[in-house]
Amino acid sequence: MKQQEILNHFRIEKEVLSVEKYGSGHINQTFLVTVKENKKYILQKINTSIFPNVEELMENILQVTSFLREEIVREGGDSERETMTVILTKEGNPYYTDEDGNAWRVYVFIEEAISYNQVERKEDFYQSGVAVGRFQALLTGFPAEKLHEIIPDFHNTAKRYQDFEKAVAKDCCQRAAKVEAEIAFVRAHKEEMSILGEMFKKGELPLRVTHNDTKLNNILIDVNTKKAICMIDLDTVMPGLSVYDFGDAIRFGANTAAEDEPDTEKVSLSLELYQAYLQGFLEGCDGRLTSKEMEMLPMGAKIMTLECGMRFLTDYLQGDTYFKVHREGHNLDRCRTQFALVEDMERKWNQMCDVDNIISLC
């Protein structure tokens, strides 16, 4: 079995008993590895089409996890559970390249932990907010500018809009005529695309280490205590804005429907879940956010939802080349869900922007 041959190149001392496909990620291929004495690892084949510079990718992950480990130990935590552990190759490298040019890496599997694809309990979403906020807090002292920009302009929403317009103009798959309403929706929100970027340029929002993929399924919850353990999937850790991480979590977790729900009538923003996450996030941040960051958290939720919908639409127009799709029109369903959520946020905007309430939660 090829995966077992790959594992021979890593510092795994015990005999490999099994390798099974694992998880539901969109980008990389993930396998659960079980070795003798029931110890487990995660083996991943990195998608080099999305992450062509694997060296910089893994350098980011090693920098961040090493810093986190030191901070966790300093606070008296368990560094083996509260951050990811990279297993090096026998040559001391954080990844292995096989004869076909594929890049592979191995992490320690964190036992007695679970992640959820959808919010099942309000408490779980609250705990995920704590985890993301704590990630921000622990990395406050890390110089974000030292990290590589793995995906250039990842949350440069204004640039994403330009890419969208190029995809519409090119219309390489002759799909634009089918999505005129969605195209019009994006264009109607053009002026909002640059709000966060302009605030950063003016120094109104500080540069921070951001995870950039804060969906609920990237948070591990302890199966016994039901408390958040840590964040996983660190591929998109980069310099960014705290409101990105907050906003991406809200657009995914506070939605009453699945991310790819075909029936947009089921889509709405749960204010109950929004407030639960907000409270957990601010608790985890432990006073590290500025007043302007707190004020802009609702806008972060709206812009990240809008941006994500626009990305799904752009990918649909370009022939579904980035996000994995499992059915015809899958990216279009995803796009419409995000736009329906934006519309509901706009209806509930005053409640989302209750600044006094936000500050009172700190």
pLDDT, tens digit, for every residue of 234-252? 999 999 999 999 999 999 9
Q: Are residues 106 and 171 in the same domain?
A: no
Give the mean pLDDT of 114-118.
Answer: 88
| Gap between the Cα atoms of 176 and 337, Å rounded | 18
Give the mean pLDDT of 179-188.
Answer: 98
Q: Is residue 116 part of a domain?
A: no
Q: For residue 338, what are the domain limits?
A: 122-360
Query: CB under 8 Å to 164, separation ≥6 — which residues?
Result: 186, 310, 313, 314, 317
Confidence at residue 356, expressed as pLDDT on a 0 to 100 scale = 62
Say how many domains are in the chain.
Answer: 2
Confidence at residue 23, expressed as pLDDT on a 0 to 100 scale = 80
Q: Are residues 318 and 281 in the same domain?
A: yes
Q: Are residues 41 and 186 in the same domain?
A: no
Q: Are residues 206 and 283 in the same domain?
A: yes
| Gap between the Cα atoms of 341 and 258, Å rounded | 11
Describe the crossing of helices 271-285 and 297-317 by its angle, rounded to 10 degrees.
110
Kindly tell me if the per-residue pLDDT of 358 is higher than 70.
no
Which tokens belong to 176? 């634009």
Q: Is residue 117 part of a domain?
A: no
Kindly tell me if the per-residue pLDDT of 267 is higher than 70.
yes
Q: Are residues 130 and 56 in the same domain?
A: no
Q: Is residue 20 part of a domain?
A: yes
Domain final residue pick, 111, 136, 157:
111
| Gap between the Cα atoms of 136 and 332, Å rounded | 32
> 322 burial class (0-12, 13-18, 19+ CB within 10 angstroms)?
middle
- DSSP-derived secondary structure for 216-247: GGGEEEETTT--EEEE---TT-EEE-HHHHHH
Q: Are residues 102 and 128 in the same domain?
A: no
Q: Is residue 161 part of a domain?
A: yes
Q: Are residues 139 and 87 in the same domain?
A: no
Q: Are residues 128 and 100 in the same domain?
A: no
3-class DSSP assignment, residue 256: coil
Phi, psi at 132, each rounded to 5°? -70, -40
Q: Are residues 145 and 70 in the same domain?
A: no
Q: Are residues 327 and 192 in the same domain?
A: yes
Kindly tell me if the per-residue pLDDT of 362 is higher than 80.
no
- Report the CATH number at residue 312: 3.90.1200.10
Mean pLDDT of the chain: 94
- Report the CATH number at residue 22: 3.30.200.20
| Residue 100 pLDDT level (bands cut at 50, 70, 90) | very high
Q: Are residues 144 and 50 in the same domain?
A: no
Domain final residue pick, 57, 83, 111:
111
Q: Are residues 211 and 319 in the same domain?
A: yes
